[in-house]
Amino acid sequence: MTVANLVRLLYLLVPLCTATGPIVELQDGKVEGMTKTASQSKGGGGGEVDAFVGIPYALPPTKALRFRPPQPFQIFGHMKATKYGSSCHQLDMRRGHYHGDEDCLYLNVYRPAGVSATAKLPVLVFIHGGAFVFGSGHNQIPPLNDHFFDGTNIVERHGHIVVTMNYRLFALGFLALPEIAAENNGTAGNQGFQDTTAALQWVQRNIGAFGGDPAKVTLSGESAGAMMVGCHLVSPASEGLFRSAIIDSGDLRADYYWYPRLKEAYGFGEGLASQLGCPPGSDRLACLRKLPQKDITIPFVKWVKDWIPELLRNHGINAALPKDLPTVASPGYPATPFGPTIDFSYLGLPDAPMKLLQKGAFTKVPIIIGTNGDGGSYLGLMTPLAYGAFPVLDGPSNLKHMAEWLFEDKVDQTDFQALYAEAPKEPPFFFLEAERIRIDRVFRDSFFQCSTRDIATAISGHGVPVYHYVFDFNHYGGLDKFFEVGASHAFDLPLVFRNRIGVLSDLFSARAKNKWFEMSDLLSCTWASFVKCQEPKCLSDPPPHCQQTYQTLPDWTRFSAPDNRNYLHLTLKPTIEYIQAEADMDASFAGDNRCNFWERAHFKWHNPHNYFEKLRREQESSVVVV
């Protein structure tokens, strides 16, 4: 055999000797994925799914592209899509440690194994939560590598395609400055939101090559991701990118996470830039772009350090306030330092989302919207930390201080305390639980349930199909029995994605493992049906493995106000229930008595210094001079 023939033979054999995964040809080049086996779980599993992970959908937003909207990615030829792209840069929980990288604009695609480009399967696009400061397209808490958003198991179970994505976080994703607006056609403070728009545009261009139908995209998100879905509903740049939407535990009020006024957004951004050593001037953006990415993300230990003098102030010790305490902040600061900016631009947010929904200026697609029954349980405990208090331990004074922190209006403060002075009817096991439940309900009502009531009312008022739910599951072992913590915020996500169910059920309630899988069937089948036919049940052609689950679900009629203000109480035995004019603390949904308060209350951004100055004056006036 000649050398030339030997070379030709080796050339032909190389592909046979090299394991290759499924290959899809996109506009930007070829991507080679991997075939995964779904978990062997009760009621199914074991089938194969093609996964293409770590696909870039925009250029790395580094150097001169930092703080700019995402830029189109260039053709890459052939790439291996078998390793997740880096999470976006975010804080870790240890001093000096950060997680992720600024080069992070990657997405992941999961499809049934071997699907052809002509399959035209429906597509679920998911946006992760994390308060706009942490999370990624495959992990809820990236340092834990939890893979809660791996789409393998739901794709294998229900047969649609799943796409997840990263987007920029914290200041890298949401810093607003006049200079940023000037160089980007008037948009600023929405870089992270615009990343998700670019990912949706990528899906429209490329999902057909994976066997998906770009005309059958359902956009979903949880927590901050649900707020992003709300952004997409009202953003003109997102029109036509999806045909239905799922809003899971998200708020659209213009006064908590959002920057409702550009003046406030710019003021907060300018304060942060100055702290970072980049004061106002012609070179401020250049200065910020030269900083290492770790300098732009505030570490967790700094939050704790700033909290200590606030704690001392709250307990009568006149400690100096942190030098970096802003003069304008959301009620949730510092845990919620950033969020989307209402910048009145085409590429950002043309106005406050709720105002646009009420006017009918939104993309009118069918909606599923809801929240978790105990959505405020641990998030509510964080609220007192914002003003230097101990959660629960400060007792009844918590309610007074919380009222003064949240509201400047005296009438609001009085009404708030009257509404939430009520104690739970069932005596709690733990003596401090009554106070925890009270704080839980404040956050559950204000941020989640009352917001979903108002969003559902606004959208359905324009003739758009809306399906409203409350997820409730009480098999969390000791959390339920001793602390009355059930379906807390984000506790539904493993059940929706069908991930780590066995591990979690063993951890919380091993004897109830079957019930965990039943609950997962209810959630994942409802979502899969909506993805397939835009209704909670596809009676003529249900998704795989859902026919039996349908027998458990009642007829879920559309929400409408005022005649049918219903919600599906999504338990192991789901029922249709209705929002009441008045409801006590133990009810599964806040009544109008509380929701009407949150709708009208002057719940807004404020100067934190004013609260601590008022507190100081009160403490001084209470001192009795002998």
Look at 569 and 608; give whichever has higher pLDDT: 569
Paired strand residues for 259? 341
Residue 288 has pLDDT above 90, yes or no: yes
Confidence of residue 623 (pLDDT cuts 50, 70, 90): low
Residue 544 has pLDDT above 60, yes or no: yes
pLDDT on residue 149: 94
Backbone dihedral region of 155: left (phi > 0), alpha (psi from -120 to 50 degrees) or beta?
alpha
The letter for the amino acid at 528 is A
Beta-carbon count within 10 A of 299 CB: 17
Confidence of residue 18 (pLDDT cuts 50, 70, 90): low
Confidence of residue 179 (pLDDT cuts 50, 70, 90): very high
Q: Do the two domains 1-298+334-362 and 366-522+559-626 of this chain adopt the same fold?
A: yes
The letter for the amino acid at 274 is S
Confidence of residue 618 (pLDDT cuts 50, 70, 90): confident
Angle at CA of residue 216, ends 211 and 220, nearest 5°: 110
Beta-carbon count within 10 A of 30 CB: 14
CATH of 1-298+334-362, one of 3.30.70.20, 3.40.50.2300, 3.40.50.1820, 3.30.470.20: 3.40.50.1820
- 8 A C-beta contact, residue 525 and residue 546: yes
> Could you tell me the two tokens for 278?
């980049």
Look at 413 and 141; give whichever has higher pLDDT: 413
Look at 314 and 162; give whichever has higher pLDDT: 162
Q: Where are the beta strands (DSSP E) in 450-579?
A: 466-471, 566-570, 575-578
- 8 A C-beta contact, residue 340 and residue 174: yes
How far apart CA 218 and CA 584 sit, in angstroms, is 36
- Judged on CB neighbours under 10 Å (0-12, 13-18, 19+), 421 is exposed
Distances (CA, A) of 45 to 149, 515, 602: 17, 17, 50
Tracing tokens 């979690």 back to the chain, one arrives at 504
- 8 A C-beta contact, residue 442 and residue 402: yes
| Residues whose CB falls within 8 Å of the CB of residue 30, separated by 6 or more in sequence, listed in order | 23, 24, 77, 78, 79
Residue 172 has pLDDT above 80, yes or no: yes
Distance of CA 103 to the CA centre of its chain: 21
Residue 334, preceding peptide bond in cis (omega within 30° of 0) = yes
Confidence of residue 70 (pLDDT cuts 50, 70, 90): very high
Distance of CA 254 to the CA centre of its chain: 16
pLDDT digits (tens, 9 = 90+) for 598-608: 999 987 777 88
pLDDT on residue 11: 32
The letter for the amino acid at 408 is E
Mean pLDDT estimate for the chain: 88
Beta-carbon count within 10 A of 313 CB: 21
Q: To the nearest whole percent, how much of the chain has pLDDT over 70?
A: 89
pLDDT on residue 388: 82
Confidence of residue 351 (pLDDT cuts 50, 70, 90): very high
- 8 A C-beta contact, residue 508 and residue 479: yes
- 8 A C-beta contact, residue 574 and residue 554: yes
pLDDT digits (tens, 9 = 90+) for 412-441: 999 999 999 887 766 555 556 677 788 889
pLDDT digits (tens, 9 = 90+) for 21-69: 999 999 889 999 999 999 865 555 679 999 999 999 999 999 999 999 9
How far apart CA 140 and CA 148 sit, in angstroms, is 6
Residue 133 has pLDDT above 70, yes or no: yes
Residue 110 has pLDDT above 50, yes or no: yes
CATH of 366-522+559-626, one of 3.40.50.300, 3.40.50.1820, 3.40.50.2300, 3.30.200.20: 3.40.50.1820
Q: Where are the domains of the chain?
A: 1-298+334-362, 366-522+559-626
Residue 549 has pLDDT above 60, yes or no: yes
pLDDT on residue 12: 35
How far apart CA 580 and CA 316 sit, in angstroms, is 42
> Could you tell me the two tokens for 374?
């105990």
Give mean pLDDT, residues 150-175: 97
How far apart CA 280 and CA 271 sit, in angstroms, is 10
pLDDT digits (tens, 9 = 90+) for 319-333: 888 888 888 887 777
- 8 A C-beta contact, residue 449 and residue 589: yes
Tracing tokens 């133990």 back to the chain, one arrives at 586
pLDDT on residue 39: 82
pLDDT on residue 392: 66
> Could you tell me the two tokens for 317?
């010790």
- Secondary structure element (H or E) that encloses residue 163, with its range: strand 161-165
pLDDT on residue 40: 60
| Residues whose CB falls within 8 Å of the CB of residue 523, separated by 6 or more in sequence, listed in order | 471, 492, 495, 496, 570
Paired strand residues for 247? 221, 369
The secondary structure of residue 603, as a DSSP letter, is B
| Least reliable range by pLDDT among 3-17, 236-250, 253-267, 564-578 | 3-17
- 8 A C-beta contact, residue 329 and residue 605: yes
pLDDT on residue 430: 57
| Least reliable range by pLDDT among 93-107, 209-223, 227-241, 366-380 | 93-107
- 8 A C-beta contact, residue 86 and residue 142: no
pLDDT on residue 7: 35
- 8 A C-beta contact, residue 387 and residue 610: no
Confidence of residue 482 (pLDDT cuts 50, 70, 90): low
How far apart CA 525 and CA 588 sit, in angstroms, is 23
Confidence of residue 127 (pLDDT cuts 50, 70, 90): very high
Q: Distance between terminal CA atoms of the chain?
A: 111
Angle at CA of residue 100, ends 324 and 524, nearest 5°: 110
